[in-house]
Chains A and B, each alone.
Chain A
Amino acid sequence: MTTFWTKLDDEGKPAAPAESSPEREESEGLLGPVGRRDFLKTVGFGAAAVAASSCETPVRFALPLVAADEQVVAGRATWFASSCGGCPAACGVLLKTRDGRPIKVEGNPDHPVNGHVRTEGQGARVGALCAVGQAAPLSLYDSNRPDGATLEGRSVQWSELDRHVAEALAAARSSGKDVVLVTGPLSSPSTLLAITRFTAATGARHVVFDPIGPAAIAEANRIALGKRALPVERLERAELVLSLGADLLGSAHSPAEHTRRWAVGHRPDRRARLMGRWVQLEGRMSLTGAHADERHRVRPSDYPLVLAALVRRLADENPGLRSIVARLPSGEPELPAAALDRIARMLLDARGRALVACDSPEVETQLLVSALNETLGAHGTTLDVADVRRWALPEAGAIGSLIDAMASGRVGAIVIWDANPVFAGPDAARFRQALERVPTRIAISDRKSETVAACQVVAAAPHFLEGWSDAEARRGTVAITQPAMRPLGRTRAAQESLLRWAGDEVGWLDWLRRSWAHNVFPRQRGASSFTAFWDSTLERGFAEVAVDSWTLPDGSEPRYGAGGVSPAPAPGALDGGTAVFDWAAVATALSTSRRSPGARPTLELVAHASVALREGRDANNPWLHELPDPISKVCWTNHASISPSTARRLGLHDGDVARLEVGRGTVELPVIVQPGQHDAVVSVAVGYGRRTAGPVGDGVGGNVWPLVAGDAPVRLRGTGSQVVLPRPQTESGLHERDLVRTATFDALIDDPRAGNPRSRHHLSIWPGHRYEGHRWAMAIDLGACTGCSACVVACQVENNVPVVGPEEMARNREMSWIRVDRYYGGENPDEPEVVHQPMMCQHCENAPCETVCPVIATAHSSEGLNQQVYNRCVGTRYCANNCPYKARRFNWFDYPHEDATARLALNPDVVVRSRGVMEKCSFCVQRIQDAKWSARRDGRALADGDIQPACAQSCPARAIVFGDVHDPNSEVARLVHGQRAYRVLAELNVIPSVSYLTRIRNPGPDGEAT
């Protein structure tokens, strides 16, 4: 064995390894000699290292990227198809998620409800979505939502809550008292099945609560057509729509769908000489009325008389119609006979392509509408009575009898899910009092409300963006609502709660899948296994399968509880496509409800849903509060709108606080002098004046519900005080400026440049910018734009635009990058012509902002964008002063994003701006870049429509089109170079990239006189 030397000794010879002696080991240890100092050093270092490591903040929540969900790719969005839960219309949506959280809701372009309309023609396929749907993420990220199970204000385990509820329900049954389930209007078939399970197991009665919905239409259809259902308004097929007060394009049921369809129907087709015409008769100035081609002021109490007058005029056309003439309400409407003659003639001319609609909550009025529609051949053409909306709608009088039952102590337990009867509805006060007599009050809710506050048991439910459900918006379209994230709080699906209380220990997703496997899968063709079908449905978001009767997963027929009738349309004759109109039944129904005409009151109250907040369900959503009303432009409050002459009569002005009294109900509200309002109409939006909606919505505006009930005279008088209204636009006149160009359709037929004279060509010694690649541009069709403001919320969501609140809005410091300017035109202040003009940064070629910035914080891109460089901006505001469109927004303060939950709604692709810098519309440059990269990654050229800025994407009317004007085949190039295109303030030679298309109205040949 070779002996290896350890070192050379002093003489240079290898030294043998030292022999280990026990003594040495003992004294030196294995580490060699350790002195006192070395010991202290070692121990000291060790102690310091231990101490130092403990100084680090413990990581409590970490996202281990190594184990990330395969769908979560840093920096890339994942999209899920789902259905909107903002209202029962259940529009198809695509949910954009980043890092596992939804940040944007967009319309599904393929969805039959709100997607591409078949006759829409060329152009990008984008899905419509209204402002409420767009604002959903902030309702999800609301830190004030109920969490977990709560019993008498005490947070408990779900099992304890379930035990408590089961005992309470059993106690109610055993004592012979009623169990009642109150829900909002529903369009989810599997949910209805779960409800039947609950009602069958507990003997509960199901009452649908919807104080302002279209239930009367369904009831009229039950009488006339034998089917309690809402037909689908095929507005794209309509050549003439006569609407009495129905705000179909604004705040009524399914406004995004209506707007999308009407945008197609209202499109001027010069070659075919075809363009839809909308005639609106209404008391208040609604968004639909503002968009109408012809509008007459009619007080709501006159709607039956107007309909009766039309029935009389059309009676010769249909024997059925003649049969009900004798049963019409007597009396002539205020509307002149000539106007009625004209409308009747127009309706007849458009026979088969006409549609009559009305927002009246009275069934007999809706019967007249139905009779007119039948006479005009609307059923089956403009009104789809085959593929009806499958919504569960309230029964007439159901809520009244429920209140009576509660008041008399006959109700032992009540479960209220997603409805707010304690606050909303004309009988809210009575409901609140009667509810106190119910021993067990259970609320299921995903948000705070007065009803939740009045219940002892609260079961928190997930928001629709974090929970499962399905939707059958109409026959033939079954859709899935799928979660885009894990639930934020300790919530449980409402359906699961109901099933558990019915004794089914089953997960809601299992139940939902079983329901689909049982009801939908057998009727579809294509997929061989349910899993494949389910997965493909999740991918698309919906399946086009007609399910005429839903049965429980175990095959049993759904049984409704004690005395309950299915609130949803059951399968019937209508589904075959042929509707038999029962004139006799209509006549009978009318004869029982004949009214004697009384004297017309001086003032009538119209309580209506608002475009932004609808009936007030999203009252804690600041995006919706900050959205100015499309007509009055007031935000953060509701208001009493009165006509200019009524205002003169009462001595009231804009911003005066007035006391509105009906019977014993009274509310103080600011007054708005509203051109186009009927002199006898005071209109107020409902849903304001909430008490327990959350910190955002509480105390905003006044609650008008207590004034709605009863026939007491309406009184309005000033209180002497005044408020500065949160109102971004205070001037409504155009001052004879050439900003909005309009023309009639008849003029357009004669002259394709009607109303749009060519602008002067400006000479310049500067050759201008050279754009070699893309050249982005936008075209906005003022004829299509209804002013619905979905684009405003979409922009706010996409671009992290801060909410500034009512005080700052009153100071005209709104931050929104896109606004919709509303102007009144015409000679008569009572019959104004209303135009809406979306306005944002115009991305001028000769941008006035670019030259004046001293620090080059705003610059021109090679593709025509005007780019704002936030971190370069020092905030001189010179650019904003010099902007003729005032499209620039200054960060007056540090707008906080401190709420950790609300902060989740921020779009990580867009930087949050700090105090003191200027910001503005970027044409959604992040989307442009994303689309360019995607195209490059896929190795293809950028296609027209690949880039959809948030405003263009959301627009239900497709009024906003974006694209590359250098691509001659692009839609935007066609529009920008078309005969209707003009640029606002072209005389300044700033050369905006945004072109507007003239507003084309179709008032008819003799319509101009009205």
Chain B
Amino acid sequence: MTVHAAEAVLDEPPIVTDGKTVTDVTEDVCRPVERGPTIWWFLAFGVALAALIFGAVAVYHTVTVGIGTWGLNRTIGWAFDITNFVFWVGIGHAGTLISAILLLFRQKWRMSIARAAEAMTIFAVCCAGLFPILHMGRPWLGFWNIPYPNSRALWVNFRSPLLWDVFAISTYLIISAVFWYVGLVPDLATVRDRAKGKVRKFVYGLLSLGWDGSARTWARYEVACLLLAGLAAPLVVSVHSVVSFDFATSLLPGWHATIFPPYFVTGAIFSGFAMVLTLLIITRKVLGIQAYITIKHLENMCKVILVTGMLVGLAYGTEMFIAFYSGNEHERFVFMNRATGPMAWSYWIMVGCNVLSPQILWFKRARTSVPIMFVVSILVNVGMWFERFVIIVTTLHRDFLPANWSSYSPTWTEVGMFVGSFGLFFTLFLLFVRVAPVVAMAEVKSILHARPHHDAATETKEARHVEPKEVHA
């Protein structure tokens, strides 16, 4: 490293602000886990649980009565169900991107947000996974999608993108969950070490897998994390590519497009970051961890949103252009119909939210203003939901034979399942912030030294360069 470069590193603003010490990190992060829940938590949990119960009623109604309780028809076979599926899978992308890809690229600012983002990923994939099961006419036979030896001569169709989804989503869920859990182990050990009650000590003891904080343990931990990051990194690209094959390998104009894999991956990162932003803005405020998840973090995420938002916009433009350039009358019609047809409102919500609203993030003042970025993040979430809705419903509702054309409006059951998925997501997330450290303490401690203008007077007894072992001493 040249001197110049080293100086540049030293000039970097601190990632963790307010002069937090190693002790502060432990105290601040463990506090929500060790303290009783606040009234805000109860309030939020109540709302989330209510939404989840509403969703459960909708699911019960669907499973007992039939898919006929939805607004689908012979022309439109998917709408809210698969829209929600792709939406949640997309949300689930940011976590792995932040923890795996940014880890491999050694982006240290990721450390404060990685834990929450990973948790979000897992919960989002859980929500996503529900919809392909519940959208089936006979969900109780959903296990027929799994190739397992049986005496009924049942087998799966390896040519079907839906089957690829089964593998992609389950792989993604497993790798993400393992990655997340392995990353949690040292922090769970911290909670264990600080635990007062017997039960608490026992539970966290089990969960921390006998972590002893030895150098050898740390070394193996680091290697395991790197290997898992290496495994998870390609999934960031593959999962949403596979999801996009559901559409790209079909023959419907508006679905049958080679642009779909990169377009979907970009969109997934875009929506994932927006969701992380939404969540962290609330979490850092509610848990009082603004010093760890700083404006700088939020600004970085805004930059990612701005870039991916424009990539998504480019994809919209490319789709339009290719539709006209191809000379395919069906293709042209579908895109004209999206922009000007009876469901054009959904298209323009999508363009407005996804392409126009992030443009405000060109301005530093907007990028560093929490209210503005909060609104933008919500708009992007809305827009990305509508992107999937537009792709699915506006393609289906007017396809090849005009005699088949139809229209769509959702029923309360479909809305209920959509709301319920948010209920499930937030219920899980709220439980998560109560039982596990929401910021990766061990990792964050490793970057405390990066503060170039550290005030010696406030320095604690702990060394600047923290040996991992000392954390648990």
User: Residues on A close to B: CB < 8 A?
Assistant: 729-737, 739, 808, 811-814, 819, 821-823, 837, 839, 848, 851-856, 872-878, 880-882, 884-886, 888-894, 915-918, 984-985, 988, 990
Select the residue from A878, A885, A985 with max chain B CB neighbours within 10 A: A878
CB distance from A419 to the nearest CB of B (A): 39
Inside 8 A of A837's CB, which chain B residues have their CB?
403
| A874 near B142: Cβ-Cβ < 8 Å | yes
Does chain A have a CB within 8 A of B402? yes
CA–CA, A823 to B136, complex, Å?
A: 34
Does chain A have a CB within 8 A of B406? yes
| B77 near A877: Cβ-Cβ < 8 Å | yes
Whether A737 touches B74, Cβ cut-off 8 Å, given contacts A821-B401, A848-B251, A875-B137, is no
Whether A886 touches B75, Cβ cut-off 8 Å, given contacts A735-B402, A848-B251, is yes
Q: Mark B320-332, 1 if CB is under 8 A from A, else 0.
A: 0000000001100
How many residues of chain B are within 8 Å of chain A by beta carbon? 49
CA–CA, A990 to B256, complex, Å?
A: 14
Whether A813 touches B156, Cβ cut-off 8 Å, given contacts A736-B329, A874-B136, A884-B399, is no
- The residue that A881 contacts in the complex, of B65, B68, B78, B329, with Cβ under 8 A, is B78
Inside 8 A of A892's CB, which chain B residues have their CB?
66-68, 72
| B402 near A731: Cβ-Cβ < 8 Å | yes
| B401 near A739: Cβ-Cβ < 8 Å | yes
Does chain A have a CB within 8 A of B160? yes
CA–CA, A894 to B136, complex, Å?
A: 14
Whether A884 touches B400, Cβ cut-off 8 Å, given contacts A853-B157, A875-B67, is yes
B130-152 with Cβ < 8 A to chain A = 132, 135-139, 141-142, 144-145
| A917 near B137: Cβ-Cβ < 8 Å | yes
4 A-B pairs with the lowest CB-CB distances in the bound complex, closest first? A875-B137, A916-B137, A892-B68, A877-B77
Whether A812 touches B138, Cβ cut-off 8 Å, given contacts A916-B66, A990-B251, is no
Inside 8 A of B252's CB, which chain A residues have their CB?
881-882, 884
Does chain A have a CB within 8 A of B106? no
- The residue that A855 contacts in the complex, of B132, B145, B404, B406, with Cβ under 8 A, is B145
| B402 near A734: Cβ-Cβ < 8 Å | yes
| B137 near A891: Cβ-Cβ < 8 Å | yes
CB distance from A50 to the nearest CB of B (A): 42
CB distance from A687 to the nearest CB of B (A): 26
Q: 18 extra interchain contacts, Cβ-Cβ under 8 A, other than A734-B402, A875-B136, A877-B77?
A: A735-B402, A813-B73, A814-B74, A821-B403, A822-B403, A837-B403, A848-B250, A848-B251, A854-B157, A874-B142, A876-B137, A877-B78, A882-B252, A884-B252, A890-B72, A890-B137, A916-B138, A985-B401
CA–CA, A889 to B430, complex, Å?
A: 42
| A839 near B403: Cβ-Cβ < 8 Å | yes
CA–CA, A839 to B75, complex, Å?
A: 14
User: Residues on B close to A: CB < 8 A?
Assistant: 65-68, 71-75, 77-78, 132, 135-139, 141-142, 144-145, 154-157, 159-163, 166, 246, 249-252, 329-330, 333, 396, 398-406
CA–CA, A985 to B329, complex, Å?
A: 12
- The residue that A852 contacts in the complex, of B74, B161, B401, with Cβ under 8 A, is B161
CA–CA, A852 to B247, complex, Å?
A: 10
- The residue that A890 contacts in the complex, of B77, B155, B251, B404, with Cβ under 8 A, is B77
Which A-chain residue is minimally distant from B164 (CB atoms)? A854
Which B-chain residue is minimally distant from A837 (CB atoms)? B403
CA–CA, A837 to B155, complex, Å?
A: 37
Which B-chain residue is minimally distant from A879 (CB atoms)? B77
CB distance from A852 to the nearest CB of B (A): 5
| A885 near B68: Cβ-Cβ < 8 Å | no
Q: List 5 A-B contacts (CB under 8 A).
A: A736-B329, A853-B157, A874-B136, A882-B251, A886-B74
CA–CA, A811 to B139, complex, Å?
A: 23
CB distance from A872 to the nearest CB of B (A): 7
- The residue that B68 contacts in the complex, of A729, A813, A819, with Cβ under 8 A, is A813
CB distance from A402 to the nearest CB of B (A): 47
Which B-chain residue is minimally distant from A851 (CB atoms)? B159
Inside 8 A of B137's CB, which chain A residues have their CB?
873-877, 890-891, 915-918
Whether A884 touches B401, Cβ cut-off 8 Å, given contacts A812-B406, A854-B156, A916-B136, is yes
CA–CA, A244 to B141, complex, Å?
A: 59
| B251 near A730: Cβ-Cβ < 8 Å | no
Inside 8 A of B72's CB, which chain A residues have their CB?
877, 890, 892
CB distance from A804 to the nearest CB of B (A): 9
- The residue that A729 contacts in the complex, of B67, B154, B403, with Cβ under 8 A, is B403
CB distance from A467 to the nearest CB of B (A): 39
CA–CA, A875 to B251, complex, Å?
A: 20
Inside 8 A of B74's CB, which chain A residues have their CB?
812-814, 880, 886, 888-890
| B77 near A854: Cβ-Cβ < 8 Å | no
CA–CA, A730 to B73, complex, Å?
A: 13
Inside 8 A of A877's CB, which chain B residues have their CB?
67, 72, 77-78, 135, 137
Inside 8 A of B398's CB, which chain A residues have their CB?
731
Which B-chain residue is minimally distant from A821 (CB atoms)? B403
| A882 near B250: Cβ-Cβ < 8 Å | yes
CA–CA, A872 to B155, complex, Å?
A: 10
CB distance from B104 to the nearest CB of A (A): 33
CA–CA, A915 to B78, complex, Å?
A: 17
Inside 8 A of B156's CB, which chain A residues have their CB?
854-856
Inside 8 A of A735's CB, which chain B residues have their CB?
333, 402
Inside 8 A of B68's CB, which chain A residues have their CB?
808, 813, 892-893
CA–CA, A880 to B330, complex, Å?
A: 18
| B157 near A856: Cβ-Cβ < 8 Å | yes
CA–CA, A856 to B156, complex, Å?
A: 6
CA–CA, A508 to B396, complex, Å?
A: 60
Whether A812 touches B75, Cβ cut-off 8 Å, given contacts A855-B154, A875-B67, A916-B137, is yes
CA–CA, A730 to B342, complex, Å?
A: 13
CA–CA, A984 to B162, complex, Å?
A: 27
CB distance from B260 to the nearest CB of A (A): 15
Inside 8 A of A731's CB, which chain B residues have their CB?
398, 402-403, 405
Which A-chain residue is minimally distant from B137 (CB atoms)? A875
Inside 8 A of A876's CB, which chain B residues have their CB?
132, 135-137, 162
- The residue that A873 contacts in the complex, of B138, B155, B396, with Cβ under 8 A, is B138
CA–CA, A387 to B33, complex, Å?
A: 98
CB distance from B181 to the nearest CB of A (A): 30
| A915 near B66: Cβ-Cβ < 8 Å | yes
Select the residue from A729, A730, A876 with max chain B CB neighbours within 10 A: A876
CA–CA, A823 to B400, complex, Å?
A: 14
CB distance from A196 to the nearest CB of B (A): 53
- The residue that B251 contacts in the complex, of A872, A894, A988, with Cβ under 8 A, is A988
CB distance from B160 to the nearest CB of A (A): 4
CA–CA, A819 to B251, complex, Å?
A: 22
CA–CA, A737 to B163, complex, Å?
A: 34
Which A-chain residue is minimally distant from B398 (CB atoms)? A731
CA–CA, A873 to B73, complex, Å?
A: 18
| A878 near B77: Cβ-Cβ < 8 Å | yes
CA–CA, A916 to B403, complex, Å?
A: 24
Inside 8 A of A881's CB, which chain B residues have their CB?
77-78, 250, 252, 396
CA–CA, A877 to B79, complex, Å?
A: 11
Which B-chain residue is minimally distant from A875 (CB atoms)? B137
CB distance from A212 to the nearest CB of B (A): 30
| A853 near B75: Cβ-Cβ < 8 Å | no
| A853 near B251: Cβ-Cβ < 8 Å | no
| B77 near A855: Cβ-Cβ < 8 Å | no
Inside 8 A of B142's CB, which chain A residues have their CB?
874
CB distance from B364 to the nearest CB of A (A): 45
CB distance from B306 to the nearest CB of A (A): 34
CB distance from B134 to the nearest CB of A (A): 11
- The residue that B155 contacts in the complex, of A729, A823, A856, with Cβ under 8 A, is A856
- The residue that A823 contacts in the complex, of B246, B329, B403, with Cβ under 8 A, is B403
| B66 near A893: Cβ-Cβ < 8 Å | yes
| A880 near B77: Cβ-Cβ < 8 Å | yes
| A886 near B404: Cβ-Cβ < 8 Å | yes
| A855 near B66: Cβ-Cβ < 8 Å | no
Inside 8 A of B75's CB, which chain A residues have their CB?
812, 886
| A854 near B160: Cβ-Cβ < 8 Å | yes
Inside 8 A of A915's CB, which chain B residues have their CB?
66, 137-138
